[in-house]
Structure 1
Amino acid sequence: MKISLKSSIILFISLIFISSCKKDEDETTPAPSLNNLEIGTGNNKTAYPGSDIHIEAEILAPAIIASVKLEIHPQSGEGWSYEQEYTEGFSGLKNAEFHKHIDIPAEAPLGHYHVHLSVTDALGQSTEVESDLEIKFDPSLPSATGLEVSPNTAGTDLHLEAVISAINKIAKVVVEVHGAEWEKEFEFTDAAMIGQTTYNFHKHVNITEAPAGHYHVHLKIVDQQGKENEFEEHFDKK
């Protein structure tokens, strides 16, 4: 009986010690951080109905990322709102780059909005950063309609096509293709396109080196006054 009681006491103390160490470890692991938040092109914190907005930040989570959440809502009253939680491409990592292009509906009310970006780690610790955003109308921005993106069956060639327009005349078009393990940028300044207000943009770019996976394609049109607008599509390479 004495041996059994002594063993029980030792086991109980050991469990308390292990629990205490685990608690101390959890308490000393820093919360995740979000740095260099960028809202819109050049961090201009501006979006336009019928287009998309680029949102980017650097994530560091010593205790491993569990999920990332993005929320956009009006500063006051009613308006367009957006909420999405992301785990794919983030969960299980210590470091990650959050880089998304969020579509702004054509019917989104103009006005001032708040953007909230938060990250939660595996210990349940959360960190949130926020920023202002203005949705406004600018009829002079370049535009693209009917954007088509499709790889050929061999996976070596990517077909791109859209009707692009720029009231202030086209200066150049930049196409960025990026996935988890490969990215490349292509710039076009065709003589037939430069200076036009409308042009049927039709290109084929080489994606032979891109491994199989899911890819984002960003088509950016820059006009001769330096205004730019970006449009996004997706494709899968098998």
Structure 2
Amino acid sequence: MNFKSLNSMKTTIKTIALLFVATMMLFITSCDKENPDRPVISDLELGISDNHVAYAGADLHIEALIEAEGRIDVVEVEIHQEEGSSDEIDSTFTEFAGLKSTTFHKHVDIPEDTPIGTYHVHITVTDQEGYQTTVEDEIEIEELADEEAPEITISSAPESGTSFSSGETITISGTVTDNISLAGLLVALVYESDNIADADVAGDNTAVIVMLHTHDFDDPDETEFTASIVVGAENDNNMTPAAIEGDNAWKSGNYYILVKSKDAKANWAYLDHYPIVINY
């Protein structure tokens, strides 16, 4: 091979190499444009204290942190057995639409006739630009025969009709026990004139002021609790603190404290109301 031919070959190789690098850079740039920051799902919890167990006829506690630069559009939960099975539970949640980040906390009902066994859980977040992220995990759905509700004992509470002014702290303490396993505890301050049924007092009810809300228990059959709130506080004491404004904004009048608890089979216990007066 003469010198001229060798130089020509080297030039050709360099040209091919440059074309290859340019093509790869174009491909990477294209991929970057087609794959922006997708939603991120982290800190997933399934079941009571993240035990990955649910019970037929009760509900499954689900909690996760969601971050979406493109803003959340919809969150979907799918629970199913192996492919081909007709036993599937689907839930769609749209109340988080427009948020860039949120703590997703829901309780998905497990029908009484759901067959026991291992199930796959898929949680999919779709943002407002159409991009999706899905995380997967497994749970066991089991049978649980339990008709006994938790027992709530109060050790310290305001006397009936006690008056509280702005800046003062309202506190109630006690113990909750269950024969098998606790699954939830809620202490809320309710404005009497709103006439809210005890069953409708919940952590996601924006008309009440949450003093304490938890689904995590170090001892599943017994826990001590203390719930408190400062009159005039900007935020409540929910699992993810929320602003006290709008429907549950502080106002003067008659309130009552409600303590309620449920077990793993969704048997609820309610205590009598503890009436107080707020001068705001």
| TM-score of the pair, normalised by structure 2 | 0.48
How far is 1:220 from its partner? 3.3
Aligned partners of 1:112 and 1:135 also within 8 Å? yes
Distance 1:134 1:103 in 2: 14
Q: Number of aligned residue pairs: give it.
A: 166
Answering whether residue 33 of structure 2 is matched by residue 33 of structure 1, we say: no
Aligned partners of 2:186 and 2:210 also within 8 Å? no
Aligned partners of 1:179 and 1:213 also within 8 Å? no
- What corresponds to 1:102 in structure 2? 108
- What corresponds to 1:50 in structure 2? 57
* Structure 2: runs of 5+ lacking an equivalent: 1-29, 151-176, 188-201, 215-220, 223-228, 233-243, 249-257, 269-280
Pick aligned residue for 1:175 from 167, 181, 186: 186
* Paired residue type of 1:30: D
Q: For residues 176-216 of structure 1, give each alpha carbon's deviation from its aligned partner in whole angstroms, at most 9, with x where no partner exists.
A: 542376533279xxxxxx99xxxxxxxxxx9x9876659xx
Give the direction of change, closer, same or farther, for the CA distance of 1:33–1:186 in structure 2 (3 Å limit). Answer: closer
Aligned partners of 1:219 and 1:231 also within 8 Å? no
Where 1:91 maps in the other structure, the secondary structure is: coil
* Paired residue type of 1:63: G
Pick aligned residue for 2:212 from 185, 188, 193: 185
* Paired residue type of 1:119: V
Distance 1:96 1:66 in 2: 12
How far is 1:127 from its partner? 0.4
Distance 1:115 1:91 in 2: 22
* Paired residue type of 2:130: G
* Paired residue type of 2:51: N
**Matched ranges for 1:111-122 at <5 A:** 111-122=117-128
Where 1:118 maps in the other structure, the secondary structure is: strand
- C-alpha RMSD over aligned residues: 4.2
Distance 2:59 2:129 in 1: 33
Distance 1:41 1:61 in 2: 26
* Structure whose residues are more often strand by fraction: 1
- What corresponds to 1:220 in structure 2? 261
What is the aligned-residue identity percentage?
Answer: 30
Aligned partners of 1:178 and 1:184 also within 8 Å? no
Task: Return the index of the structure with the highest Cα Rg.
Answer: 2
How far is 1:74 from its partner? 1.1
Distance 1:91 1:172 in 2: 28
Distance 1:127 1:40 in 2: 21
| TM-score of the pair, normalised by structure 1 | 0.55
Distance 2:98 2:64 in 1: 17
